[in-house]
Amino acid sequence: MTLLDQFIAAYHAKFAAPVSQFDTTLSGWVEKSSHLLLDEKFSPPPELKGRLTQLLARTKEPMKVAVTGQFSSGKSTFLNALLSKNVLPTGITPVTSKVNYIRYGDAYKMRIHYKDGRDEYQDIAHIARFTDQRTEVEEIAYLTLYAPLELLKEITFVDTPGLNSQEERDTTETQKVLREVDGIIWLSLIDNAGKLSEAQTLEKYLDQYQEKSLCVLNQKDKFTEAQVAQSVAYVQEHFATFFSEVVPISAKQALLARSHDKVQMLEESKEAFLSSLDEKIDRVEPMEIQSEYEKYRKKVQEIRSGDLSQNSVLLEASNIQRVLSFIETQIRPVADSAKVFSIKREVVQICTEIISQHQLFLRIYDELSMQLQAFEEEAEEAFAQLKQQFGKKLQDAYAQIEAMIAVIAEDIYTHIHTVDRTRYVPKKSGILKKEILYEAISYQRAKIDADRVYKHLFYEDDVVGKRFKHYVRGLKEIQHEVNQHNAEVYEMLKRRIRQWQTPYELLRKQNPVHSYIEFANIRKFASKAYEHILKPFSDEIHSSYAQISSEFNHLSSAVHFNYQNATQVTVAFLEQKIEQSASLYEQDPARFTCYTPKLEEIKERLGSNFHLYELQNMMQGNTTFLSKNYDTLMREFKAIKQERESFIQQRKVRHEKTIALLEAHIKELG
């Protein structure tokens, strides 16, 4: 291995991010999902972290079993029997007015959950103050009781108000609990089983929970075996659609037997000693503490040496073990399966909700792209119409130049007249005479009254000057109109972008698991629509404005500052040609003639001096400067649009990748 290879390996060992490994348990799946969804690159909100934390906690929670029934059916006594301890208060009237969650804890304590969000811990001895319907407990939402009992590590019990409670809100709360728990124990007194009121209650509330429901008939100790068997058979026959099994029990016998279990008695003695010690340790002498300890040791020895064989008989007679067996064999497998299904479904739901956020962003970007595409089509049509419209105006403007040249030509032609001139030719006076005589011969030649032409066209009457000044003003109006229409095309884009921008500048997340930062980024992107989208189009319009203005200024200058010079040059040329032709004529009249300008010739010469060919290229046909400008403008707009679409697509890529990643995770969850 080279030194470089060693360096790279050392770098990766020290700085490379570790690859997270997750087991295939339900907790592992949730941890893997959390690792993915809470990645910083997704800008997760606190609500998402809280929701995933709750999900992870749910994977480790024991199953929930609700105990319900009609009031005074002995629910609290039954639960105390299951727990082997008088945790819940009992009474003749419907005592339990609040839902009580009985969970495992390291000590006996009670947590009161108020409707306004407050939590408060109280000694479990005060539970009656918060559950008895005979007291005012309106502000309480529900209670959680914690107890250091092994059974509660596997099962969370939910003590509910009766379904025929005096308060409708209690019945409603119980219905909600029944939908959420893994199993239901319906408790009924044997002598009440099958009564019409109970049948109506079962049909109304338990019709859909047969697979997870157990019917427990309490107080079997008060009846003969035959009477108990008759009641069980009746319930099994008439209420088979509501329960998977019917079990007769004696909660009283079970509580008595379980509370006298040696382990339980030893635990209670230990708790009593420690509680007493805690109260006395700061105010008694060490000898008294020693005395209390000796009493505790003696009690422990008595329990251990005591004969509690009758407890086993009593416990078996109570039939409470069949209830626990049903929970273990019937409810637990379904609960575990339901928990896996429910939690995975929740993770899928979270992923789906986050996907919906990114799909929303993709739709926002797609809407922007559609606005750009629609504008491109509008602009292409608008520029084509403007190109045709102003091409016609330039042609008309060129025709006006030709017309003004014709006026000048007419004026020059009008001021051409003939003048008499004399030429002298040699004449022989005689054969012998050496003297040369000249003969005067009259002829006519053309003459341009240049002063009259200039005076009429440029000075006193200023016929042409006024027309050219008016013409230049007309060119300025066309220039202004062209730039105004071009600006209106840009305004079309602005309106489209503003229409897209308005709702998204104020966009706020509606779903708690959506990202505050992602939505803030979208709002920021929308608010900067000018910088992101409009500016290059605006720059191109301004560049076009400058180019068009330059071309029109050149055209105006070519016309305004050239017409007088072109006229003078033309007149001078014609005068020179007239003069040259006259000189040649005088020298050889047989060979040459005097030149007189024709009207068409004057027009042609004026056009040449006016650079009419250059103006024609600028103002006529499909290659006018405006036509070229519109072609350039449309070409540049297309290029800008493509570049902006590429920019938008780049912003979409991250969201598309996120969606693909989450969809793959959903598929992996099965």
> In a 10 Å sphere around its CB, with 0-12 CB exposed, 13-18 middle and 19+ buried, how is residue 76 labelled?
buried
Q: What is the DSSP code string of 144-180?
A: EEEE--THHHHEEEEE---TT-SSHHHHHHHHHHHHH
d(CA 653, CA 642): 16
- HSE-up of 3 (CA within 13 Å, CB side)? 0
The rounded mean pLDDT for the chain is 84
111-153 residue pLDDT tens = 988 888 888 988 877 777 776 654 556 788 888 989 888 888 8
Position 189 confidence tier, pLDDT thresholds 50, 70, 90: confident
Query: Does 330 reside within a domain?
Result: no
Query: Does 523 reside within a domain?
Result: yes
Are 248 and 393 in the same domain? no
User: Is it the case that residue 184 has pLDDT exceeding 80?
Assistant: yes
d(CA 540, CA 250): 91
Pairing mode of beta strands 213-218, 245-248: parallel
Query: Does 645 reside within a domain?
Result: yes
Are 173 and 203 in the same domain? yes
Are 39 and 138 in the same domain? no
Q: What are phi and psi of 121, to 5 degrees?
A: -100, 140
Q: What is the pLDDT of residue 8?
A: 54
How does DSSP classify residue 132?
A: B
d(CA 459, CA 441): 39
User: Is it the case that residue 641 has pLDDT exceeding 60?
Assistant: yes
Are 17 and 112 in the same domain? no
Query: Does 336 reside within a domain?
Result: no
Query: Does 289 reside within a domain?
Result: no
d(CA 9, CA 250): 70
Are 74 and 130 in the same domain? yes
User: Is it the case that residue 584 has pLDDT exceeding 80?
Assistant: yes
Q: What is the pLDDT of residue 613?
A: 86
d(CA 28, CA 56): 9
Query: Does 324 reside within a domain?
Result: no
Torsion of CA 459, 463, 469, 470, to 10 degrees: 160
Tokens representing 482? Answer: 């062209």
The neighbouring-strand residues paired with 426 are 438
Q: What is the pLDDT of residue 366?
A: 97
Which SS3 state, helix, strand or coil, does residue 89 take? coil
Q: What is the pLDDT of residue 192?
A: 78
What's the domain range around 15? 3-55
How does DSSP classify residue 530?
A: I
Position 92 confidence tier, pLDDT thresholds 50, 70, 90: very low
Query: Does 609 reside within a domain?
Result: yes
Q: What are phi and psi of 183, to 5 degrees?
A: -145, 160
Residue of 214, 218, 216, 321 whose CA lies nearest to 261: 321
d(CA 287, CA 305): 27
> In a 10 Å sphere around its CB, with 0-12 CB exposed, 13-18 middle and 19+ buried, how is residue 33 labelled?
buried
User: Is it the case that residue 99 has pLDDT exceeding 60?
Assistant: yes
Which SS3 state, helix, strand or coil, does residue 114 take? strand
User: Is it the case that residue 21 has pLDDT exceeding 90?
Assistant: no
Tokens representing 11? Answer: 């770098």
Residue of 520, 499, 443, 500 whose CA lies nearest to 45: 520
Position 19 confidence tier, pLDDT thresholds 50, 70, 90: very low
CATH number of the domain enclosing 221: 3.40.50.300
Contact (CB, 8 A) for 164 and 70: yes
Are 19 and 71 in the same domain? no
Q: What is the pLDDT of residue 272?
A: 66
Are 75 and 159 in the same domain? yes
Contact (CB, 8 A) for 581 and 592: yes
Q: What is the pLDDT of residue 629?
A: 92
User: Is it the case that residue 94 has pLDDT exceeding 50?
Assistant: no
Query: Does 266 reside within a domain?
Result: no
Contact (CB, 8 A) for 111 and 120: yes
Position 637 confidence tier, pLDDT thresholds 50, 70, 90: very high
d(CA 232, CA 72): 20
Are 550 and 480 in the same domain? yes
Are 99 and 162 in the same domain? yes
Are 50 and 61 in the same domain? no
- Sign of the Cα torsion 239, 240, 241, 247 reads positive
Total Cβ atoms within 10 A of residue 559 = 22
240-244, 284-288, 577-581: segment of lowest average pLDDT: 284-288
Q: What is the pLDDT of residue 536?
A: 96
The tally of domains found in the chain comes to 3
- What is the distance, to the nearest Å, from the Cα of residue 579 to the centroid of all Cα atoms in its chain? 87
User: Is it the case that residue 93 has pLDDT exceeding 50?
Assistant: no
Contact (CB, 8 A) for 469 and 563: no
Contact (CB, 8 A) for 606 and 567: yes
32-53 residue pLDDT tens = 999 999 999 889 999 999 999 9
Q: What own/partner pairs with CB < 8 Å and gap ≥ 24 does 579-586 have? A: 581/445, 582/421, 582/445, 585/423, 585/443, 585/445, 586/423
228-283 residue pLDDT tens = 999 899 888 888 888 889 999 988 888 877 655 556 666 666 666 676 666 666 66
Q: What is the chain's length?
A: 670
- What is the distance, to the nearest Å, from the Cα of residue 32 to the centroid of all Cα atoms in its chain? 25
Are 493 and 553 in the same domain? yes
Are 103 and 225 in the same domain? yes
